[in-house]
Structure 1
């Protein structure tokens, strides 16, 4: 076996010099052949040596996915130096700590990182030489330099460090993971037993390259096997769809969440079709699922349009990073897609287990890779315990952190993954969850949040959801209850004309909870307007969410958030209709010093269903118009309300008076509806009789039915707000059957 990964690259590139190795999809002239890649990589290595970089020195790499990212990565390895790939969207403080810890000698950056790196320099207290690539012209003179008497790749040993990666760090301080050339070769050897790759493969790069999982497929495997890699100009739905159709990938490397988005798009489109089409689709889905069990796949025949959306040539997809929802995996299997599951960590050079083309057990992460050993430590009665891993793919220990290294290994050398799993009788591994994420309830029951998240995400009102354990104020010290952090699907809410998302989500959570054991039901929830914080591989940062909930940041986030008014925003709010809408909102919402067009009426401004109704009634009265129920339900933001008012003539009106309350509404309605006249007519004898009945019935309920009234003071406050003159008359109209 060759001594280094770089020697394997040379053999691969020299055997196919004229073939295209990578390109930016949709950018003519961005193609780079393997022969040109080898020349440029050697030029970068020569320049690194010329600038004082010695074998073993650490070189930082920060930038978005791009062919130049791959060239800088390979050039650093060819020089015998250590690549330190970092998150281009990482916080300045975090990146500074990484540079300090790695003792970086040089940094490759894309142009977008130049300003941020100046801030890093200021915090670091020393200058780190930088090389900035220009996306249009590459590295310029760097790729053309050669040094007499120097040969690249430089000679390295299997135990020499090739890459220093910092773990995602969903909790605590991230740690440096050094992977050696020997680790990389062992991982490649294992992957070769799983994937049947040829040089005809086309791999579309979708996820950040700074993560180990993507480096395995997009760099390590692609370069050694001579596969073509396509990079996106930008990661957006439109660009992704266009790139799929143009590049026609045969392999996709993704995380489960991206497949969930694909799944939602496909099945939402089917839901819009006529009943006959939906019925036929379901029938073909079931038929192909049955056929696949006997080795026949008619997915491209039955669902050609779906496959064309992925380019029409997709042979297999590889998913890792987090657990895959079994129901979604089954649907894609029936659609004719082959999605292989992998499991591993940065510390195991990527994948330690994987499903196989001929043994793709849905819900499982497969069997151990060639050369890897996996076992369950101290399994419970259900066979669940911590997953332990051993073999040449496992790193030797954390960089500059002996304490963390000692904690990460058992006495006999097994790496502690921190994940809980079990094996079935066939030796397939199933990941249950993270040991540190398990929520222990006062009853002693253990709850795995990922299971509950999969269940509750069946609700179409919810875009994202995380289940965490929070302190239960009704239990003893330290006891926790289940709480959900919910990000609503605002597009769905708008489409279905659901205005009061909070109540709708509460009912949905309650209904879904009925099919769960009582101890697994969510007891509380918090609405969050922003996406959930996630790692590069889309894992939820539960530790951060728990801190935010316990400190009150999430509950207060909509009002605490910093809103910046653009000139266009300020212009919209300054219009006559904008001023009127703001005034109407302020009449019905507390603490609204700043109103921004993008604010959600419910989540950001705190308008409940009654306050929304009052706001729209005020605007209808002000402009002498009527909004339909659908129009009001679709207006979820301040900008949408202004647009609604403009469509009803507000744009052509001067600023109007908002002198209106419910008392005035009732009095003005008196002449229009005889029923209201009859209700409001002054009848002293009837009023005395009704009052007497009320007092007797109230006394009876309190004595014999233990009636207790809570919150009555709020009715008084509401009445005073509605009509000061009637503050002493406890009369209310109760309309419980409103939309919520």
Structure 2
């Protein structure tokens, strides 16, 4: 295209594409609508003819308020060919926002969809001349009724005339109107076309709404101009995107970081947790990533060929815009074998100011300035960070009807203030560090870019998304947990999230770490391009802090079908009666919404067994993170067996680990104990306090704190030889019993498996150990402390005490966290001391607790361990 050309020139030549597909649209009913370039050009020219025949004047503003569709694209191209200016309106606007934007634009005509009519009318748009993009020909307002003779010649339009009106996404407040001229847009298109990234034979997946400038320019205009096919998925859910990728012959995806984050993490997780072939591909993915980082070669398509054939056989390029794409996501996708190119721009700069050129991309950066674009970093600090300011043919002339905003948006010498913080490296690449307006300033004057903090904490697989904000003078996090990832982890959701945050926090400077956090299951408000609408976050945090869940739940057809099964309905009604002050829904979380821990949830499952004669295994109950999960388990459950039979089966299963060791294993255990004591003396200068008072026989529980992987080893070394033969330990099933070496260690050390997903079974085995007069080692915290502090004791220890009335010895291990914290792979030399307190009887502990409640007994025991901790710290 010549430099001074308008969009009318290339779009007027769509007929040159002939019968090649211009659009392939996947539908919800499973069908695919395909439109050729010739048909699209003909329809667009007939739209243009109809608009001119209806009295449209060149430069007149016309609204388009509808979801993506082939008709949307035809209407949009037709409007351009007729010389009109499209007002792109978000389909998800509130009534007030729609009213404001319609009034601001001055539009008298509008393209829309049937299910948008009521909202349009409420927003004051009932008097607009309206055409429905999804109506049948018999509807007088259908697009078909507008079509006229094809417009033979478009009106003459200057390059500096307005081509389209967009509205900012409103991440920090009221959206503003952004008129973009033909020159603004054409220059950016030329910059992309110069690199030949999209070819006529390509299919380009566009899963983003076209009312934004980035998908409109990069995802719609560029494919149409080069003759490529636009692929529209049926929706934006995972299955709909996957179908379009696999069946649409997609070579290029135009997406945003959230889409690519989900793609990278989802595929990686599938390989890491899959079977033999997928597990092998996971290691090939690691190899591919190493080769890409170290040698710059992209071998993923070859090494992971079976995966490429299944996911997207022709996919080669992932284009990212709209927000910052994290470097780790880029490297992961490159390891899969795809080229990842990201750029930077705002709607005010026609979406492209910088981009990473192919072959010279710096992953994690925003790239180099586009041709003709100038950048400068205003008022840089000591690190060279400052506001990114932009000048060039892509920059708009000012907001519509908003002189105050224009005064803020431009410097006195004509540079556009982007509002983004960034810096440039020695080769001119731009690196972004957040938004000026989103910068959090704490009371001590520290400045924090929330996106930087969010990226670190969000790396935990247990965190679906996290938003950082200031609340009460401190930095806080609003966490949406990933229930699917948590499903297989066991334990309390709050504990897992707390540990995940504490593990990642030390990677940040102290002033950037969270002072507090709250869990929510509300969807955090974002723009369609994935940016948080941060001005909407504080009330959500306040609701989460008060323990208030999301609003009224929506019951799906599948949920209603599930409730039609009589047994499921009876269980749901019974549950609702159990919690009369809460309105239960399929998404109700026992832990987050009802305050039920895993042990109480298992107890509830046992009550369901007794009431409704269904056999719910503890593993099944452990998988249930929502009421929906529980109802599905009830639907699939067989009839229940007698409770006593079930208890005997649990003990019989654990008998392998409880039976006495033979002579050979006993000799091995003794040798191992001697070596362990020598190693702990040498490496940790192990000291023992109070060991001489330990009872020699059970039933006794020894209850230590848990801060490190070395805790069991230093504790075993600290115990006197006279009790060694009496010991039985509870140990994590997943971490120890999944391989032959771990199982051998379990037999040598007299360990039995403890499963977070089956707490009642584990507690039954623990009680059986004590009934045999043995000494039980039980870590009441369950999890290693993420920060070395003493955590809450879970109620399971209280349940054991209530069942057995055994004495308990509090124990505190000091120094193990410093020797090997949770994140470390190997220990380092550091003094460790094991403190044993005097044995406490059940009656003494109950008196201290004030009741025989499981949680109260656990808390009273924790107090005894905390007393040992205070003595160590004095």
Instruction: Name the CA shift for 1:645/1:134 in 2 (closer, same or farther; >3 Å).
Output: closer
Is this contact kept in 2: 1:390–1:413, CA < 8 A? yes
Which residue of structure 2 lines up, in the alignment, with residue 464 of structure 1? 465
Give the alignment partner of residue 80 of structure 2, picking from 73, 77, 80: 77
Distance between the aligned counterparts of 1:566 and 1:717, measured in 2?
49
CA shift at 1:615, angstroms? 3.2
Matched, 1:563 2:553: yes
> Normalising by structure 1, what TM-score?
0.81
Matched, 1:527 2:519: yes
Distance between the aligned counterparts of 2:600 and 2:528, measured in 1?
40
Is this contact kept in 2: 1:499–1:634, CA < 8 A? no
CA shift at 1:266, angstroms? 1.3
Distance between the aligned counterparts of 1:196 and 1:645, measured in 2?
53
Give the alignment partner of residue 572 of structure 1, picking from 538, 563, 567: 563
Is this contact kept in 2: 1:573–1:579, CA < 8 A? no
CA shift at 1:238, angstroms? 2.1
C-alpha offsets along residues 325-346 of structure 1, whole Å, 9 cap, x if unaligned? 2112112222221111110000
Of the two structures, which has the highest relative contact order with CA contacts closer than 8 Å and spacing of 6 or more?
1
Distance between the aligned counterparts of 1:620 and 1:31, measured in 2?
54
Which residue of structure 1 lines up, in the alignment, with residue 440 of structure 2? 439
Which residue of structure 2 lines up, in the alignment, with residue 56 of structure 1? 59
Q: Secondary structure, in 3 states, of the residue corresponding to 1:224?
A: helix
513-522 vs 386-395, which moves further: 513-522
Instruction: Name the CA shift for 1:129/1:629 in 2 (closer, same or farther; >3 Å).
Output: same
Give the alignment partner of residue 35 of structure 1, picking from 35, 38, 47: 38
598-607 vs 200-209, which moves further: 598-607
Distance between the aligned counterparts of 2:801 and 2:401, measured in 1?
81
C-alpha offsets along residues 214-270 of structure 1, whole Å, 9 cap, x if unaligned? 011233212222222122233332222222122212211000111111112211121
Matched, 1:101 2:118: no
Is this contact kept in 2: 1:486–1:528, CA < 8 A? yes
Matched, 1:612 2:632: no
Is this contact kept in 1: 2:300–2:337, CA < 8 A? yes
CA shift at 1:396, angstroms? 0.3
Mapping of residues 390-409 of structure 1, within 5 Å? 390-409=391-410
Distance between the aligned counterparts of 2:313 and 2:524, measured in 1?
33
Which residue of structure 1 lines up, in the alignment, with residue 502 of structure 2? 510
Distance between the aligned counterparts of 1:282 and 1:437, measured in 2?
39
CA shift at 1:97, angstroms? 1.4
Instruction: Name the CA shift for 1:283/1:618 in 2 (closer, same or farther; >3 Å).
Output: closer
The alignment covers a number of residue pairs equal to 669
Instruction: Name the CA shift for 1:584/1:200 in 2 (closer, same or farther; >3 Å).
Output: closer
Distance between the aligned counterparts of 1:241 and 1:276, measured in 2?
21
Instruction: Name the CA shift for 1:37/1:618 in 2 (closer, same or farther; >3 Å).
Output: closer
C-alpha offsets along residues 431-474 of structure 1, whole Å, 9 cap, x if unaligned? 11111222223343322221222211221111111111212xxx
CA shift at 1:9, angstroms? 2.2
Which residue of structure 2 lines up, in the alignment, with residue 704 of structure 1? none
Is this contact kept in 1: 2:85–2:162, CA < 8 A? yes
Distance between the aligned counterparts of 1:163 and 1:612, measured in 2?
56
Is this contact kept in 2: 1:389–1:414, CA < 8 A? yes
Q: Secondary structure, in 3 states, of the residue corresponding to 1:108?
A: strand
Which residue of structure 2 lines up, in the alignment, with residue 265 of structure 1? 266
Which residue of structure 2 lines up, in the alignment, with residue 491 of structure 1? 484
Which residue of structure 1 lines up, in the alignment, with residue 528 of structure 2? 536
Instruction: Name the CA shift for 1:319/1:625 in 2 (closer, same or farther; >3 Å).
Output: closer
Mapping of residues 314-325 of structure 1, within 5 Å? 314-325=315-326
Gaps of 5+ in 1: 472-479, 654-665, 688-714, 724-729
Is this contact kept in 2: 1:21–1:226, CA < 8 A? yes
Matched, 1:603 2:595: no
Q: Secondary structure, in 3 states, of the residue corresponding to 2:352?
A: strand
Instruction: Name the CA shift for 1:481/1:67 in 2 (closer, same or farther; >3 Å).
Output: same
Instruction: Name the CA shift for 1:72/1:626 in 2 (closer, same or farther; >3 Å).
Output: closer
Give the alignment partner of residue 139 of structure 1, picking from 140, 143, 165: 143
Distance between the aligned counterparts of 2:259 and 2:550, measured in 1?
30
Instruction: Name the CA shift for 1:39/1:544 in 2 (closer, same or farther; >3 Å).
Output: same
Matched, 1:5 2:6: yes
Which residue of structure 2 lines up, in the alignment, with residue 705 of structure 1? none
Instruction: Name the CA shift for 1:213/1:647 in 2 (closer, same or farther; >3 Å).
Output: closer
Instruction: Name the CA shift for 1:115/1:581 in 2 (closer, same or farther; >3 Å).
Output: closer
Q: Secondary structure, in 3 states, of the residue corresponding to 1:243?
A: helix
Which residue of structure 1 lines up, in the alignment, with residue 332 of structure 2? 331
Which residue of structure 2 lines up, in the alignment, with residue 234 of structure 1? 235
Which residue of structure 2 lines up, in the alignment, with residue 429 of structure 1? 430
333-342 vs 559-568, which moves further: 559-568
> Normalising by structure 2, what TM-score?
0.70
CA shift at 1:136, angstroms? 7.1
Which residue of structure 2 lines up, in the alignment, with residue 190 of structure 1? 191
What is the root-mean-square deviation of aligned Cα atoms in Å?
3.8
